[in-house]
Structure 1
């Protein structure tokens, strides 16, 4: 027997997001930040007139700083 449409998450018109997770809960959050994160953080830091990020940030720390700088800059 076929499942009801509402039981299939692929057919849900308003699926829950698994792309927005608290950085503290990331499995890879302790890994070094990516090159893309470092580049974006540097750009945001320059625009916000702040010091560039330290090179030893983790992915989770970088994500939190990106969010904070975006909020500061009104993005």
Structure 2
């Protein structure tokens, strides 16, 4: 079998993985943000000099934190 031909044991690439889904569509998006999100958001907020409105907020949901992280990554140049 060619190495370029996937077989039943080869994981298939999922073009819409969880990491690529819109946070608004996450099934757990309305849960409290994770500790990792909170920590990273604090770091990014400090680097960006973000205020309360666009920086860290302990009450954010997972989806809200993800969106804010994306925005701050862009602002700080840390984005992919």
TM range (shorter): 0.7 to 0.9
- What TM-score, normalized to structure 1? 0.77
Unpaired runs of 5+ residues, structure 2, are none
Unpaired runs of 5+ residues, structure 1, are none
User: 4+ runs of 1 displaced by more than 3 Å?
Assistant: 5-8
Please tell me the root mean square deviation across aligned C-alpha atoms, in Å: 2.1
Q: Is it true that 1:70 corresponds to 2:73 in the alignment?
A: yes
Of Structure 1 and Structure 2, which has the larger fraction of its residues in helix? 1
- What TM-score, normalized to structure 2? 0.73
In structure 2, relative to structure 1, the CA distance for the partners of 1:34 and 1:24 (3 Å cut) is: same
